[in-house]
Structure 1
Amino acid sequence: MTNLTIDQILKRNDMPRMALLRQLNNEGYSIGKCSMRNLAEKNQCPRRAPVAAVRKALGHLLGNNIKQEELDTIFKHQPNGGNNKVDISQPVYGVIELLQTNDLSQMQAINALKQDGINISPTAMSQILRHGIWPKTVERADIETSLTAWIAQFVTKRQLNNMWKVRGVTVNATPKKPLTTVPDVAVKPRITFEQPEPEMLNQTTLRHFKLSRHPFENEIRSESDLFMSEQQVMLREAMVQATLGGSIMAMIGECGSGKTETRKGYMEYIRRHHPEVQVIEPMVINKKRLTAEMIFDALAEELMLTTLPGSLERRARKVESALKRSVKAGNRHVLIIEEAHDLTNDVVKYLKRIWELSDGFNRLISIVLIGQPELAQKLAPSNYEVREFSRRCNVMQVPPLGRSLTEYIAHKFKRCNVNYLNVIEPQAIDALQLRLQAKVSYGMAAKASEHQDMSYPLIVNNWLVCAMNLAASLGETVISADVIQELK
């Protein structure tokens, strides 16, 4: 066995280099792409990832698909290459080491601090990082908190927990008041969005605006109560097509973005236009405890199977036979799982097996997942464990109201038999739209700050309730742009 490289081992197991890079990062060893190339092609272990660490990562990644003899061959020319007892306990990282291993500069750190309103000079930054000398004009906790939040997008949690360890002493940064953050899968930017504290709509406010009931309680009693913008209609149509086409779809949206209402609209549409579709929804509150057995139990209940075998394989065969009979009778089936961001990787892999059930060219069941942005992380290409499912899944994002904001407000007040213009001025809606823009900062000078629309129904409802209460307390007949600006 000669000239065996890590690249050859990875290719033999149909794995990209990035899989090993992610595994090393997960185990606390952060290396750059150049170091990864040298490691894969030349078996050269970088300074930040010793031989024992790479051996351990390969073992975790490939399991029984790699032999100890092959590992010995790969690392035979490395220092300590044959020693499996090298201490690879958690390394101690300082801020400056994290900057160096992630190709970040001190100037980028300074620019990140500036975006949080903290101005320090390059000399002061160098004194902090190299000598532990802190400036007297800025609170130390503010600097630590800002740097921690910025560098978190580049490093692992394990490294982050150790970044303030200096000479064996850990310095804990005092956290600021938490801001509303919205995770982004690809870049993980910091999204800052301030909004007023949630309030109840006062009875005096209801009387002030001549309302008989709360316009934002979201009690959906009929299809007419649903607000369906053009984009939400498109989402519903995508769910319908996934159901009829036997495919997999994931609907992902922020908390309060209208996922549940869109699902209700889809269910009503299916009931009226496609009565042949049987909807299966496993009734498990804690989706982290959902298992393949529970899913098959839900399928069996919908198919009216009274008894099921104990083993999962026999249970699957019996359910498959019942699905085939149901399809031949003219029925279609769709499995819908809400709060799907809580599903474990094992369950997601089982869902792919369930979706593969077929009768010839006909799929026996479609799958629709509904969840928060964490579901996008679970289905991301970086999650190698569920790649068989995620590569077959059509992911749809629930958009904010955006240009439909006025229509949404008008719809809500129309349900109360009130013209929205008797409650809020058009200029106030424009002012509200501006305040619903979040600041997206990347912490790097190379990429300027951006804005993200946060006009999701739940957030809009909160703003309008606060604005109505404030307008009523001030004796304003309608909500004006000045009232929106006064909200804190």
Structure 2
Amino acid sequence: MAHTHKSLMVKTLKKHGINQLDMVADMRAHGSHISRTALLDLIRYGLWPKRINPESIRESFTRLLGEDNQEEIEKMLKAAPKGVNSTAAYQVLPLLAKYELKQADLRRAMEETGIKLSPSAISQLLLHGKWPITINAELIKAAVEKFMSEHVSTNELMTMWDETKTKKGNAPTTIKTVQPTLIFEQPEREMLYQKTMNHFKLTRHPFENEVHGIDDLFMSQSQRRVRESMVQASLNGSILAVTGECGAGKTELRKSFYDYANQHHPELLIIEAMVIDKKRLTAAMIFDALAEELQITSMPNGLENRARKVERTLKQSAKAGNKHVLVIEEAHDLSNAAIKHLKRICELSDGFNRLVSVILVGQPELEAKLSLSNFDIREFSYRCNIMTMQPLGASVTDYIAHKLKRCNVDITNVITPDAIEAIKTRLQGVVQYGITKSNGSKDMTYPLMVNTLLVKAMNEAASAFEPKITAELIGMIK
């Protein structure tokens, strides 16, 4: 056995022109001080050093041979000890060893979620607690947890990031995750004065979001894409979360979705859970909402009995050609327990066909709630697609023109092109990432922000007897 191991490792290193001194130097450069004697015993006789973590040796082979030679590396390390010594920074590494999982498998799984780290970076994280500064730590954790959740127990998953102690008893070095901070001076809201309406010859307030029909709605290309995603999720039995900042137009988008579905997909039955305080939403309330839409006149006692009756009726409705979607607004207020109940609703099926789709609409906190690091609801999160409503951006001009056209007023009679550009500039926030990354910007041209700024600008123009809103006037607004 030792002879086979010796010949394989010696031949592989010789094939790639690597000698023991190269490996000793590489390992020492990366914090693993192995002696030449210990390395020779490993290469020639397959004797693994007790004081060196096998993962450090794997990491060195990967650096020296290259990631394209993973198959050869795995063959050489087939006889590596399964245990991991106490130098691991977190419990992740011992769990990998316990379930005979490889870091290469973990790395490939992470890449599938969009997190690309080199074998060296992963080992530095798991062995020494050194977090990459270019990728948010929470995203890395979520990718690792998604892979590990398929193999380890719930308790192990919840404690996998617990820090271990080194032989010297020191806590491993970690880099604290810096949460981005948005710096944005939101314009204060004020009413549109009567003299302002007279000044611009308006018969009604153009920037009140009173929607009386589909013609009143402004839909940007981005909003149309989100609406189409809502339609497709509803028809295909999927779960979709739509998030957006306050004032991004979520309510109007929902109304547009309802109108579009009624016109183009009459087979789609839209179900709403009519509970104002979503924190109080329970499984019973969800089943009651389904029963009302399905016109079930009497519901049995007990949640299990209710679920069975609703499922039977849903199957009958589906066989009649209907589709069902449950829509929940203010979903960022949902409790973990309510979201767990939604997972059960989503699992109702007739053969391969899902009986109920789910669309959640909420503020950005909803996306954080659905993070894979929220262990309680991770099974729901894995199945949930998330779309974020974008600001108006380049559509600001079209948005303003649409709003004024509803009042039979031409945009060119109210605001100059340079003023519109000034609005876009004014509604830009600064994102601070701390010392690890230079500041960025965030576009805040959401409908509510644009409306508020325009009302203030129109009042200022009327007070100054200016015929139009100009860039200079926008610059004066606090």
> Quick check: TM above 0.5?
yes
Alpha-carbon distance change, 361 to 473 in structure 1, aligned in 2, over 3 angstroms: same
1:241 to 2:225 alignment:
no
1:288 to 2:279 alignment:
yes
Q: 1:384, CA displacement in angstroms?
A: 2.2
Counterpart contact for 1:249–1:367, Cα < 8 Å? yes
The one-letter amino acid of 1:476's match is E
1:252 to 220, 243, 249: 243
1:375 to 366, 373, 377: 366
Alpha-carbon distance change, 38 to 102 in structure 1, aligned in 2, over 3 angstroms: closer
Counterpart contact for 1:204–1:472, Cα < 8 Å? yes
The one-letter amino acid of 1:449's match is N
In 2, the alpha carbon distance for the partners of 1:299 and 1:15 equals 44
Q: 1:13, CA displacement in angstroms?
A: 9.1
Normalised by the length of structure 2, the TM-score is 0.66
In 2, the alpha carbon distance for the partners of 1:14 and 1:320 equals 41
Q: 1:196, CA displacement in angstroms?
A: 2.6
Alpha-carbon distance change, 427 to 300 in structure 1, aligned in 2, over 3 angstroms: same
Alpha-carbon distance change, 218 to 7 in structure 1, aligned in 2, over 3 angstroms: closer
In 2, the alpha carbon distance for the partners of 1:294 and 1:315 equals 11
1:463 to 2:442 alignment:
no
Counterpart contact for 1:195–1:463, Cα < 8 Å? no
Alpha-carbon distance change, 427 to 3 in structure 1, aligned in 2, over 3 angstroms: closer
1:480 paired residue number: 470
In 2, the alpha carbon distance for the partners of 1:312 and 1:103 equals 47
Alpha-carbon distance change, 437 to 16 in structure 1, aligned in 2, over 3 angstroms: farther
Q: 1:424 aligns to what SS in structure 2?
A: coil
Q: 1:194 aligns to what SS in structure 2?
A: coil
The one-letter amino acid of 1:379's match is L
After TM superposition, which residue ranges in structure 1, 4 or more long, deviate above 2 angstroms?
Answer: 2-18, 32-39, 61-66, 100-104
Q: 1:390, CA displacement in angstroms?
A: 1.1
In 2, the alpha carbon distance for the partners of 1:309 and 1:15 equals 48
Q: 1:439 aligns to what SS in structure 2?
A: strand
In 1, the alpha carbon distance for the partners of 2:224 and 2:260 equals 11
1:207 paired residue number: 198
Alpha-carbon distance change, 311 to 437 in structure 1, aligned in 2, over 3 angstroms: same
Q: 2:372 aligns to what SS in structure 1?
A: coil
Q: 1:387, CA displacement in angstroms?
A: 1.5
Q: Deviations over 1:396-428 (max 9, x none)?
A: 110000000000000000000000111111110
Q: 1:391 aligns to what SS in structure 2?
A: helix
In 2, the alpha carbon distance for the partners of 1:208 and 1:65 equals 68
Normalised by the length of structure 1, the TM-score is 0.65
- The aligned runs of 1:99-248 (5 Å cut-off) are 102-103=174-175, 154=178, 188-248=179-239
In 1, the alpha carbon distance for the partners of 2:414 and 2:102 equals 58
Counterpart contact for 1:254–1:372, Cα < 8 Å? yes
Alpha-carbon distance change, 7 to 397 in structure 1, aligned in 2, over 3 angstroms: closer
Q: 1:37, CA displacement in angstroms?
A: 3.7
Counterpart contact for 2:83–2:94, Cα < 8 Å? no
Q: 1:381, CA displacement in angstroms?
A: 1.9
In 2, the alpha carbon distance for the partners of 1:16 and 1:225 equals 57
1:435 to 2:426 alignment:
yes
1:449 to 2:439 alignment:
yes
1:411 to 2:402 alignment:
yes
2:302 to 296, 311, 314: 311
Q: 1:7, CA displacement in angstroms?
A: 5.0
Counterpart contact for 2:128–2:173, Cα < 8 Å? no
Q: CA RMSD in A?
A: 3.1
Q: 2:434 aligns to what SS in structure 1?
A: coil
Counterpart contact for 1:10–1:16, Cα < 8 Å? no
In 2, the alpha carbon distance for the partners of 1:357 and 1:230 equals 34
1:356 to 344, 347, 353: 347
Counterpart contact for 1:199–1:466, Cα < 8 Å? yes
Q: 1:218, CA displacement in angstroms?
A: 0.9
Query: Structure 2 unaligned runs (5+)?
Result: 1-81, 86-90, 107-121, 130-151, 158-163
Q: Larger Cα Rg: Structure 1 or Structure 2?
A: 2
In 2, the alpha carbon distance for the partners of 1:78 and 1:327 equals 64
Alpha-carbon distance change, 380 to 7 in structure 1, aligned in 2, over 3 angstroms: closer
The alignment-based identity, stated in percent, is 55
In 2, the alpha carbon distance for the partners of 1:429 and 1:192 equals 22
Q: 1:16, CA displacement in angstroms?
A: 12
- Equivalences, count: 344
Alpha-carbon distance change, 199 to 14 in structure 1, aligned in 2, over 3 angstroms: farther
Query: Structure 1 unaligned runs (5+)?
Result: 19-31, 40-60, 67-73, 80-97, 105-152, 155-187
Alpha-carbon distance change, 65 to 438 in structure 1, aligned in 2, over 3 angstroms: closer
In 1, the alpha carbon distance for the partners of 2:309 and 2:439 equals 56
In 1, the alpha carbon distance for the partners of 2:154 and 2:343 equals 23
Counterpart contact for 2:243–2:361, Cα < 8 Å? yes
In 1, the alpha carbon distance for the partners of 2:101 and 2:288 equals 35
2:261 to 270, 286, 297: 270
Counterpart contact for 1:244–1:332, Cα < 8 Å? yes
Alpha-carbon distance change, 33 to 237 in structure 1, aligned in 2, over 3 angstroms: same
Counterpart contact for 2:93–2:126, Cα < 8 Å? no
In 2, the alpha carbon distance for the partners of 1:16 and 1:78 equals 27
Q: Which stretch of the first structure deviates more once superposed, 376-385 or 235-244?
A: 376-385
